[in-house]
Chains A and B, each alone.
Chain A
Amino acid sequence: MALSQLNALASPVDEPQLRAIQTALKDMSPTQIAWVSGYLAGLSAVGSPAEPRLEKAPVETISILFGSQTGNAKGVAEQLGEQALAQGLEVRVTSMSDYNPRKLAKERWVLILVSTHGEGEPPESAFALHTFVQGQRAPRLERLRYAVLGLGDSSYEHFCQTAVDFDRRLSELGAQRFMPLQCCDIDYQTDANAWSGSVLMQLAELGCCEPTAKRTANVVALPGAKLTQARPHGKEHPYRTSLLENRRITTEDAIADVRHLVLAADPQLLRYRPGDALGVWFQNDPVLADAVLAEANLDGETQVHLEGEELGLRQALIERLELTQLHPATVSGWSELTGTAELKALVSDPARLRAFAGERQFVDLLLAHPAQLDAPTLVGLLRPLQPRLYSIASSQSELEDEVHLTVSVLRYQIDGRDRLGGASGFLTARLGLDDPLEVYVAENPSFRLPEDGDTPIIMIGAGTGVAPYRAFLQERAAKGDRGANWLVFGNRHFHRDFLYQLDWQAQRKAGLLQRVSLAFSRDGADRIYVQQSLREQGRELFEWLEEGAHLYVCGGTAMGRAVHEALLEVIGTQGDLGQDAAAEYVDNLRLAARYHRDLY
């Protein structure tokens, strides 16, 4: 049952009790709620309220701090916390965004799990802690012993940069590293599991916090606290849904083919909040798999081993291996196999290698540089298939049993051949109505509406980056929030790709959208982008910020950078601030969690 459906008439609790429960649960994530439900189940089994766990936290508590954007670091942190708990260790799993940086000096054991985005940038939730630690006034941390796990994508230049930063800087501040830095690539699970195992062993060996009898008893008394029983759907445990609608929302003559997709969501099983993303497990195009098989001259029925499982090569290519996002490591591996001078030169130049891989699929590599190989080698070269994340464009307050996505169909040409994006092609071209697919909610705690519904918000989005704002407005409408809303949207053509134009018009008519600024880059001789629009309206932008508005930016990384520069400029001009002061103003916005970014 959804929380909003709880009422005193239908349950044994009275109104005040109900309100207390609702208040307590209001901002919890599905994972947290699941944990609490287990905890409460444990309580009811024991038959009497447990001692409130308010006793002073032991000195030896281990802080697991995660900085997560798409939920991966958070997932690893929670799993690690669960294992530690099972071992009877005293742990606290905290998002960096909820962590007071000054507490670091008092900590004894800290595990940091953090991802890296764009060009070596920390996730929004890690920004404050990262800034604090990097800063000149960071305290000495002689007492602290730590280990860092980084999540990243090695096809980017600054692989796991944020983790590298933390690892180096903590050491500089006098803290003692008890495990070497572990950087994990997009297929992080195996490495992360291994690291978690090692960390727990090391902690035991180092004599950190021997479990007491009482705590052990507590754990036993709280079987529900183990996430395994009420485990919500997640990346490795996806939710099976089906496609209800696939609607093009750009005109036929638009450059981008953008689809509005509606997926079914049982509100009992799939809960999400505005700002969250949906992870989509997709299958590669069988035609593409066959092309790879044909080029490599391999039989699709050949049995191969993948993570201890045996399956046909063709099935592995379709369901388990990455074919559309070519990884530089795959190119390097291929270079060793084929050994052409051209490829070797390419591989020796990391920038060129990244550019090459960035605009090709695996089959293009095969076609350009044919080589003989056997099935196990092919499987070894390819990376495991990873789900893709899409910002959710709907709110469950408005439509409880649907998830809406805004998907741009990735179509491009390589050497004159048409190529289709893996997930977008799956979702928009290969998946039929009512066909099943597997998804999970990737929480995005750093991209949330302000708690206070009266707070004004400025929503800046380009292209499909406008998707979460549709969810925001639906949510605010459903809740009756009275804060002013300002949408800043950019795309190519007013008439061709004004995504969800009728929705925005309806929201304005309903009195919800107070201000709309638009930038269509190809409509006039001058290319206008959202950042220009912000500069033109600098006075209003600054006024809104001064009135406490939250700022949201969603879209491509380059757009995020341009908006950031415009923001600095506007604040400098309007607030009559120098460069440093303007930068501090923006940093303060971030520290106050009023500047939210979701860039990809």
Chain B
Amino acid sequence: MNAPLHENELIKRRSHFLRGTLKESMADALTGAISAEDTQISKFHGFYQQDDRDHRQDRREHYLEPYFGFMLRARLPGGVCTPAQWLAIDGIGRTLANGTLRLTTRQSFQYHGILKPNLKAVIRGINKVMIDSIGGCGDVNRNVLCNPNPVESALHLEVYEWAKRISEHLLPRTRAYHEIWLDGEQVAGGEEQEPIYGETYLPRKFKTAIAVPPHNDVDVYANDLGFVAIAEDGRLVGFNVLAGGGMGTTQGDRSTYPRLADELGFVAPEQTLAVAEAVVTTQRDLGDRHDRRQARLKYTIERMGLDAFRAEVEGRADIAFAPPRPVHFTDQGDRYGWVQGQDGRWHLTLYIESGRVADRPAHTAMTGLREIARIHQGDLRITPNQNLIVAGVPEVRKGDIEALAREHGLLAEGHSPLRLQGLSCVALPTCPLAMAEAERYFPQLLARLEQLVQKHGLADQSLVTRMTGCPNGCARPYLAEVGFVGKAPGRYNLMLGGNGIGTRLTRLYRENLDEAGILDALDSLLGRFAEQRRPDERFGDFLIRTGILRPVENPAEDYHD
């Protein structure tokens, strides 16, 4: 390939192991922004430059630059944190960011609207409670997902430890983060090495998740690298390794598509890190560094062929994959309310609408979670569905926790199944990629959809509904039963055909619909579903059985048909 390297590759190389000119950018008081190159480098440090798009135009008319703020995403493997950590996270969000927290679909939390002069204080603040944001964004391994399985307590602990180990093992080794934000000592030139990544890191972001069947809440097939925990008698015996999943597409570019990860085979637990590293280095060396749209691992595997890729990984890891073990998934959502773990402790899954932790009239999630964290002695787990589990509650504290959750509107009770299974990304006004609303609009659309399912007697039907403001897929709309992908203000592509367990992709059903168009299309489909469905049949399965929708079988070939 003789195409020139993508500009980002040159920026990475010039950055001297991710230092860039971040220090100079931070010191520049004339602007709330950082330099253009630094906006690429900052991602590796966990933050994106954004601006308030609601006010971009009027600020320009006032001769003011955009209202720049930064989104910082923490690294929190498996989404687990302690109440003490939560209190610190909450305090920083209230004082140094826009007053809210956002729980993400990758089990982390992110701050929005951090002003440049406050960035350092935010990073130092989370560092005080042993949390960092290294690789929160950027072309490296991102936050590692892990099923927050509260029931199988011992198994969860074992699997969670692997999530942490993978995250640590694939962490960049550069001291840039410590040097710039934590005032660590400068490393003399030439001493620094990135044994896994090299000086240009990966061609593109890289996502890893661990699922514990039968739950697929992590959407393990949507990840570049997936591990499906195989347990025998409650003990971990190994993982089915998956590779090549990914959600992002580019509008109008038919060479891009969402893709489910392929199975590579089964490995024993002690082979986990070697396999993870081998997949990463294969992608490092063979991924496309010319065209970022073609740079994710899914395209590398398509180009190489699965067998060649598997052989490459086996060679690099010096292992041989055993045949994958059979697995069975039953759901991709959260189990709300109280469940009891095998160790006798209780776990309460709370409902956080769109993952936004904020105080609003009659809905004081932020205060509520803070109150809970003050009395809670177990841990808190952010779920891949943007919710929060208060985990490890002894029987005697259940009443207190539940009372607080109820007082602050954190319980799932009273919400429809439709709403409880909904996911939406952040989108406007902060996300620079957004083409349409998501978080701010989704609740209203859900209210209309609730009327619709009610009308067809489907109010109790489980229906995974997800919305994103652009085709990049942060809320994984390509694995929903009903997905909305933003195309333009007020316009969405309607994606249908997921199976509710995250193992089948959606297909475009109607393009560029406004709200009336969405409701119209779903009204008719749900009507037919209500009349003709089989017992326990899900909506996506029905659409495919009746031929309304053709399933996506090989997205590289048939996704755009």
Contacts and interface: CB of A to CB of B under 8 A. Distances in A.
B31 A251 contact: no
A495 B29 contact: no
A581 B387 CA distance: 68
B65 A502 contact: yes
Contact of A502 (B55, B58, B64, B67): B64
A490 to B, nearest CB: 12
B31 A505 contact: yes
B64 A247 contact: no
B61 interface: yes
Among A498, A504, A508, A516, max chain B CB count under 10 A is at: A498
A250 B30 contact: no
A502 B56 CA distance: 13
A503 interface: yes
Contacts of A597: none
Contacts of A518: 29-30
Interface string B27-61: 00111100000000000000000000001001111
B61 A501 contact: no
A251 B32 contact: no
Contacts of A499: 63
Contact of B63 (A260, A494, A495): A260
Contacts of B63: 247, 249, 260, 499-503
B121 to A, nearest CB: 11
Contacts of B55: 251
A579 interface: no
Interface in A231-266: 247-251, 260
Interface in B455-490: none
B471 to A, nearest CB: 32
Given A249-B64, A502-B65, A516 B29 contact: yes
A250 B29 contact: no
Interface string B49-84: 000000100111111110100000000000000000
A251 B59 contact: yes
B62 A250 contact: yes
Interface in A476-512: 494-495, 498-505, 508
A505 B32 CA distance: 11
Nearest to A503: B63
Contacts of B61: 247
A498 B68 CA distance: 14
A131 interface: no
B98 to A, nearest CB: 12
A341 B59 CA distance: 53
A248 to B, nearest CB: 6
A517 interface: yes
Nearest to A499: B63
Contact of B67 (A495, A500, A508): A495
Nearest to B118: A524
Contacts of A501: 30-31, 63-65
Contacts of B60: 502
A247 B62 contact: yes
Contacts of A495: 32, 64, 67, 115
B30 A251 contact: no
Contacts of B117: 523-524
B56 to A, nearest CB: 12
Nearest to B65: A501
A251 B60 CA distance: 10
Contacts of A516: 29-30
A533 to B, nearest CB: 10
A272 B508 CA distance: 65
B64 A517 contact: no
Given A248-B62, A249-B62, A504 B67 contact: no
Contacts of B115: 494-495
A491 to B, nearest CB: 12
Contacts of A251: 55, 58-59, 62, 64
Given A516-B29, A518-B29, A518-B30, A505 B65 contact: yes
A348 to B, nearest CB: 48
Contacts of B29: 516-518
A91 to B, nearest CB: 47
B362 to A, nearest CB: 25
Interface of B: 29-32, 55, 58-65, 67, 115, 117
30 contacts: A247-B61, A247-B62, A249-B63, A249-B64, A250-B62, A251-B58, A251-B62, A251-B64, A260-B63, A494-B115, A495-B32, A495-B67, A495-B115, A500-B63, A501-B30, A501-B31, A501-B64, A501-B65, A502-B63, A502-B64, A502-B65, A503-B63, A505-B30, A505-B65, A508-B30, A516-B29, A516-B30, A518-B30, A523-B117, A524-B117
6 interchain residue pairs of minimum CB distance: A502-B63, A518-B29, A516-B30, A249-B62, A249-B63, A501-B64
Given A501-B30, A517-B29, 15 more contacts: A249-B62, A251-B58, A494-B32, A494-B115, A495-B67, A502-B60, A502-B63, A502-B65, A503-B63, A505-B31, A508-B30, A518-B29, A518-B30, A523-B117, A524-B117
